[in-house]
Amino acid sequence: MRKDFTAGIRAGIPVCLGYFSVSFGFGVMAVSKGLNPWDAILISLSNLTSAGQFAGLTVIAAGAALIEMILTQLVINSRYALMSVALGQKLGPQVGTGQRLAMAFFNTDEVFALGMTRLGKLSPAFFLGAGLIAALGWTAGTATGAAAGAVLPLSVRLALGTMLYGMFIAIVIPQARQEKPMLFCMGLALVCSCLFAWMPGLRDVRDGLAIVICTVVTAAVCALVFPVPEQEGAQ
């Protein structure tokens, strides 16, 4: 078990470093939105979800209702339910409920990828080792960004707040250039967001609800236009 845990930590170090740089931007943005640095740290320590946290920060800054926060997080983080089902197929029957719950907390996109590429049955110790070091990087980056955001000029804070969007662009653009469905999905999401930002009537919709609507509409349209063949999805 100790060997697997150590292997998980080693495998998770690159994820830890990547999380630190992105969560630094979250810490800066959280402070610029009026949150206390300790609040930002607590959010990262208890959530560990990049897109969900940034979207949640937008909802908080807009003073939206709790139901909007619930819907936003439910839609954005729904992928984790499917990822957890996939992980469950790699676990043996001896893995208890407590271990599965701990793994669910650390189940992010990158840690999930590390677990799924592990040959054979997945050891909970490996997954928890990778998840723990990733969580430390995410929380440490948030703390550093929040501390820096409390002293940096506003112009610098606003610039650093775009770090996550730059990361998403770097991830999505290369794949969108190769896959038309991805390009269509990205373009549709952009159009929906612009409509809610500028179109009279729609621009009065709260930010949290606009995020939910844009996500659901984009996903539904793309599922209809580019359905995955049954035999391909079963592989």
**What secondary structure, in 3-state letters, does 215-228 show?**
HHHHHHHHHHHCCC
In this predicted structure, what is the pLDDT of residue 26? 87
For residue 106, with 0-12 CB atoms within 10 Å meaning exposed, 13-18 middle and 19 or more buried, which class applies?
buried
Please work out, in degrees rounded to the nearest 5, the angle formed at the alpha carbon of residue 212 by the alpha carbons of 206 and 218.
Answer: 125
**What confidence category does residue 233 fall into, taking pLDDT thresholds of 50, 70 and 90?**
very low
In this predicted structure, what is the pLDDT of residue 191? 92
In this predicted structure, what is the pLDDT of residue 41? 94
Q: Is the pLDDT of residue 231 over 90?
A: no
As a whole number of angstroms, the distance between CA 4 and CA 26 comes to 31
Which H or E run contains 60?
helix 50-61
Q: Is the pLDDT of residue 137 over 60?
A: yes
Specify which of 41-45, 72-76, 210-214 reaches the highest per-range mean pLDDT. Answer: 41-45
In this predicted structure, what is the pLDDT of residue 230? 58
pTM, rounded to two decimals: 0.72
Closest to 51 measured CA to CA, from 83, 12, 77, 20: 77
Distance (Å) of CA 141 to CA 16, 48, 88, 138, 193: 9, 12, 30, 5, 28
Whether 68 contacts 60, CB under 8 Å = no
**What confidence category does residue 38 fall into, taking pLDDT thresholds of 50, 70 and 90?**
very high
**What confidence category does residue 73 fall into, taking pLDDT thresholds of 50, 70 and 90?**
confident
In this predicted structure, what is the pLDDT of residue 215? 79
Mean pLDDT, the chain, rounded, equals: 83
In this predicted structure, what is the pLDDT of residue 77? 84
Residue boundaries of the structural domains of the chain: 2-160, 179-233
Average pLDDT over residues 43-49: 89
**What confidence category does residue 128 fall into, taking pLDDT thresholds of 50, 70 and 90?**
very high
